[in-house]
Chain A
Amino acid sequence: MYDSTTVLLLEGLWETIVMTFLSGFFGFLLGLPLGILLFLTGKGQLLENRFYNSFLAVFVNIFRSIPFIILIVWMIPFTRFIVGTSIGMSAALVPLSIGVAPFIARLVENSLKEVPSGLIEAARAMGAGTFQIVRKVLLPEALPSLINNASITLITLVGYSAMGGAVGAGGLGQVGYQYGYIGYDAFIMNSVLVLLVALVFIIQFIGDRISQKFNHK
């Protein structure tokens, strides 16, 4: 039964996977430094600065409070400017990455807060600079927690990308929306559901495994 339905579902699955992981990658590219800065400028930390910290926090909170479906629509002009179109998978990557970055920033900040402050102190006593402390102490120590947060992020992105499907982002979301909601094909609708659930389970399973591997606490 290698018919058009199977091809449609597999294509949708592939697009969802690509969107999830690529926007996750770009989201981390933006969110990781943002999260590190949020942490470092926080109270009692190495670069404590109330002004910058509040500024970053407000910025992050604003983006986190915009519902994703609104963010996609609101960002259409910007998306067009960056990738030349507002429809399709590559267009969806822009709002997905930017939408998830503040979320990642908060998760990263929380992961870093879990690192015992004594370790930062020991590194300072060795003569380490701020950048060295981040690279050699904070990130390695927070790695298992960061990996857990990466799983959470990717799972969130599976959901976001499905939402994007409603406004032409492609992927399983679009398949489900068009065939399930508009055409009301119960088989496709249910298949989309099963595939999305399976994807989430696999991400969580692999994430847990990798996090475990790096956890030596």
Chain B
Amino acid sequence: MIQIKNISKTFYKENGAFKALDNVSIALEKGDIVGIIGSSGAGKSTLIRCVNLLEKPDEGEIIVNNRNLLALNNKSLSAEREKIGMIFQHFNLLSSKTVFDNVALPLELTGKDKITIRKRVVELLTLVGLGDKIYEYPKNLSGGQKQRVAIARALANKPHVLLCDEATSALDPVTTGAILELLKEINQTLKITILLITHEMEVVKSICNRIAVLDKGKIVIQGAFEDVVASGHSIVQQFISKKKITIPGYLKDQLRQSAAEGLFPLLEIELNNAVSLETIIDFSRHYYHVPVKILKADIETVGELSFGKSLLILQGQEAANENVMGYLDQNNIKNNIRGYV
């Protein structure tokens, strides 16, 4: 469906050359939702912009629907681009046009007649749930509604691929969820292949069936979400547990730096793919007789495995608590005492 083969791209700036993409290859099958995750500056934007040649790679091939885009002249490239929809972080709607006219734009560009355009635009806006906003201007819409209009616009010419360039990064978590639901629905009902880039693990986790991790212009690992997460690759780990886990405000005041009679250790642990949180809790209670209170857990669970960080209070005898920590060490689970409460 889409084959990105060995593409490289170097930017030349005043302060020297910068290799944004280094021999990147990804293949998408029809109906896939593939997510490319990477931190800012990793080259994700350049990569997705290479797929419809908004950015021209220095080397490599882009094959969409069996056509090598780099070999096409301007006119044929335009025709192929009509079949590759794209949405953006900042929506890129025309402020001078109503919702209707924004969605109609790609149809006008391909020379459709007025009646066809009208029918199609209404159909698209109903699909994205904005049937009642047809004559509004973008400035009167919320971020989520703007992205819905952009999605309708991207689907206007019935593309076989939809490219999403950080499409949810400017949206709040609830709206992000709703937009991702819509993308999933589009993928399933219209059979459109989706390629998205993001810096949020949540996004790829919720809709992608395959992911690729991009770091410093190179794909470090790709495959099914579960396999990539289970690989334990250091960059993948960063995305899962990059958030610092904070101690709740009410506990901060009570927190002591040294152990004392009647205080229990507050432990921060970082899970790996060896032992799940439930196992740790069970084991502590039944084997070491240490009741464990879970204060916080920021955990991704994939199948039998879980990753992420958690704050625990070990409420056992001092010696027993030591044993639990020894057990964690044995299993290579990073743990450190943040204080005593």
Contacts and interface: CB of A to CB of B under 8 A. Distances in A.
Contacts of B224: none
B228 interface: no
A122 interface: yes
A126 B94 contact: no
A1 to B, nearest CB: 49
B92 A119 contact: yes
Contacts of A116: 90, 92
A44 to B, nearest CB: 12
Given A126-B153, A129-B74, 11 more contacts: A118-B92, A121-B54, A121-B88, A123-B109, A124-B54, A124-B81, A125-B85, A125-B163, A126-B81, A128-B78, A216-B96
Contacts of A141: 94-96
B327 interface: no
Contacts of B94: 119, 137, 140-141
A80 interface: no
A217 B79 contact: no
B78 A129 contact: yes
Given A141-B95, A214-B96, A216-B96, A125 B86 contact: yes
A136 interface: yes
A144 B139 CA distance: 15
B82 interface: yes
Contact of A125 (B79, B81, B95): B81
Interface of A: 116, 118-119, 121-129, 132, 136-137, 140-141, 143-144, 214, 216-217
Interface in B67-121: 74, 77-82, 84-86, 88, 90, 92, 94-97, 105-106, 108-110
Nearest to A126: B106
Interface string B236-280: 000000000000000000000000000000000000000000000
B78 A217 contact: no
17 contacts: A118-B92, A121-B54, A121-B88, A123-B109, A125-B52, A125-B81, A126-B109, A127-B78, A127-B81, A127-B82, A127-B109, A127-B110, A140-B96, A141-B94, A143-B96, A214-B96, A216-B137
Contacts of B82: 126-127
Given A136-B105, A216-B139, A122 B95 contact: no
Contact of B92 (A122, A129, A144, A217): A122
A143 B97 CA distance: 11
A37 B230 CA distance: 55
Nearest to B52: A125
Contacts of A119: 92, 94
Contacts of B92: 116, 118-119, 121-122
- Main SS at interface, chain B: mixed
Nearest to A117: B92
A125 B50 CA distance: 11
A132 B110 CA distance: 10
A132 B82 CA distance: 14
A118 B88 contact: yes
A122 B91 CA distance: 9
Interface string B6-28: 00000000000000000000000
A136 B109 contact: yes
Contacts of A140: 94, 96-97
A128 B130 CA distance: 25
A106 to B, nearest CB: 22
Contacts of A128: 78, 109
Residue of A127, A128, A217 most packed against chain B (CB within 10 A)? A127
A132 B109 contact: yes
Residue of B54, B85, B108, B109 most packed against chain A (CB within 10 A)? B109
Interface in B171-198: none
Contacts of B78: 127-129
A194 B84 CA distance: 60
Contacts of B108: 136
A116 B85 CA distance: 20
Contact of B90 (A118, A123, A143): A118
A195 B113 CA distance: 50
B154 to A, nearest CB: 8
A123 B92 CA distance: 9
B224 to A, nearest CB: 29
A123 B84 CA distance: 12
Interface string B43-65: 00000000010100000000000
3 closest A-B pairs by beta carbon, nearest first, are: A127-B81, A122-B92, A127-B78
Contacts of B79: 127
A122 B138 CA distance: 15
Contacts of A217: 95, 139
A120 B163 CA distance: 17
B162 to A, nearest CB: 11
Contacts of A118: 88, 90, 92
Nearest to A128: B109
A101 to B, nearest CB: 25
